[in-house]
């Protein structure tokens, strides 16, 4: 970080670590050194339980927007530092910035005060936290050393530990739309991160969850926040897998915090916080505290809207056998919902809404999705891309895509 070690030496070390691996002890030592390379969050005598939640990312993953308000409503303190999207995966910060006025650039000290006042804050990662990670990642990118479990785990966990939480819940995505395509490799990463967290004295659990189809129905920034708001306010029928995952992750976090004593009790508490409006109320509080317009939670017409909505209908009959999730993520990116380069602009209004998911019956001519566009240029190609991401079969698939495996 101070420039005393030249890049070529660090690159040589990264390649050695990539080829030979790191022991658990070495990985923990690397993570703690990275954590201590910059500022860490000072809770200044705050004695309450502080939980952090992290997702490894995917397509349509707006779980944070539901889970954080629920946990804060239950009495858990949460300072969530989130990132921006890149490539086919979305970023929580981009989603929140589709809320009119919402500020994600509040300082760490402001965020800590907000957590003390209302229980939660969701902010962008600051350059002062874990500067070693930024430098190492830039070198990993150009030396083909990205795909290393110890290096990935230390990168993620150094940023989590810099927040000085008491407990961390990790949501490790696996499947076509995730960075980890293989269940066994995802399990290795999850285990490594749990070992790092517990080795650092932090209660840590990981959930392995599926990204073999988009999570929920919406892909795109304001569209995803609307879907999260609708779940919390009870508007419409939520996507069942998205709903179940939000419930289960929230329930696990409550168990980790000691607020609920059993899984059954945790799930009941979470469902009650949605049913009685406490989760929606807390989201309004968070938005108001961060200078956004809280009225969006119950009036989603206040979100940015696209100029055009193109209905996409099926040209086949049968059952949805699979959805090419990464392909849809890349399509959403090209529409303007994501970015190919770190500094590319984001269009908050554009994206995709899916009406058919894996296992659903589809008739010829039935609507399977919508494209939300601000330009009709290339829209015919976009329609074909959406259709080609669906595999339709004459028989209903037997396997459920819901995955929830907890690693302690």
Residues with a catalytic annotation lie at 54, 133, 140, 155, 159
Pairing assessment for the beta strands 351-354 and 218-219 based on DSSP bridges: antiparallel
Q: Residue 384: CB partners within 8 Å, gap ≥ 6?
A: none
Q: Which residues pair with 53 in a beta bridge?
A: 169
Residue 405: both structure tokens together: 């495996």
Rounded to a whole number, what is the distance in angstroms from the first to the last CA of the chain? Answer: 33
Distances, alpha carbon 106 to alpha carbons 110, 282, 289, in Å? 6, 19, 10
Of 368, 362, 370, give the one whose Cα is nearest residue 397.
Answer: 362
Q: Which helix (H) or strand (E) is 170 found in, with range? A: strand 167-174
Quote the CA–CA distance of 368 and 381 in Å, as a whole number. 16
Residue in the structure block whose two tokens are 């940015």: 304
Pairing assessment for the beta strands 318-323 and 361-362 based on DSSP bridges: antiparallel
Assess contact for 197 and 169: CB atoms under 8 A: no
- Around 67, how many Cα atoms within 13 Å sit in the side-chain half-sphere? 29
Assess contact for 331 and 270: CB atoms under 8 A: no
Residue 69: both structure tokens together: 């308000």
3-state secondary structure of 42: coil
**For 146, which DSSP code?**
-
What count of residues does the chain have? 408
- Give backbone dihedrals phi and psi of 15, rounded to 5 degrees, phi first: -65, -40
Assess contact for 156 and 34: CB atoms under 8 A: no
Quote the CA–CA distance of 300 and 302 in Å, as a whole number. 5
């Amino acid at each position: 970080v101070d420039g005393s070690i030249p890049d070529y030496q660090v690159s040589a070390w990264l390649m050695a670590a990539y080829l030979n691996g790191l022991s658990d002890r070495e990985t923990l030592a690397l993570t703690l050194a990275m954590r201590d390379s910059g500022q860490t969050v000072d809770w200044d005598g705050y004695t309450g339980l502080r939980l952090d939640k992290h997702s490894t990312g995917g397509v349509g993953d707006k779980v944070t927007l539901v889970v954080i308000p629920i946990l804060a409503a239950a009495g858990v303190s949460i300072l969530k530092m989130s990132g921006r999207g890149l490539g086919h995966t979305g970023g929580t910060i981009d989603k929140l910035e589709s809320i009119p006025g919402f500020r994600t650039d509040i300082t760490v000290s402001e965020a800590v005060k907000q957590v003390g006042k209302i229980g939660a804050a969701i902010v962008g990662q600051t350059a002062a936290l874990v500067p070693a990670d930024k430098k190492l990642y830039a070198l990993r990118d150009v030396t083909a050393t990205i795909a290393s479990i110890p290096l990935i785990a230390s990168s993620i966990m150094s940023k989590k530990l810099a927040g000085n939480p008491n407990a961390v819940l990790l949501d490790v995505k696996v499947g076509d739309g995730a960075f980890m395509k293989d269940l066994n490799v995802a399990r290795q990463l999850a285990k490594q991160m749990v070992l790092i967290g517990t080795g650092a004295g932090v209660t840590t659990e990981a959930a392995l969850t599926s990204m073999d189809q988009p999570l929920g129905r919406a892909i795109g920034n304001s569209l995803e926040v609307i879907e999260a708001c609708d779940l919390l306010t009870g508007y419409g029928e939520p996507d069942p897998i998205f709903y179940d995952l939000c419930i289960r992750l929230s329930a696990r976090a409550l168990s980790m915090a000691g607020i609920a004593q059993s899984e059954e009790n945790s799930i009941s508490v979470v469902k009650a916080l949605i049913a009685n409006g406490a989760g929606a109320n807390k989201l309004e509080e968070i938005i108001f505290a961060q200078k956004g317009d809280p009225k969006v939670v119950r009036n989603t017409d206040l979100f940015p809207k696209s100029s055009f909505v193109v209905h996409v209908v099926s040209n086949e009959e049968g059952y949805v056998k699979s959805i090419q999730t990464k392909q849809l993520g890349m399509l959403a990116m090209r529409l303007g919902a994501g970015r190919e380069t770190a500094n590319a602009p984001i269009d908050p209004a554009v994206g995709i809404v899916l009406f058919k998911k894996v296992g659903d019956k589809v008739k010829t001519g039935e609507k399977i999705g919508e494209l939300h566009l601000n330009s009709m240029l290339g829209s015919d190609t976009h329609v074909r891309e959406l259709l080609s991401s669906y595999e339709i079969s004459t028989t209903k698939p037997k396997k459920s895509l819901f995955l929830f495996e907890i690693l302690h």
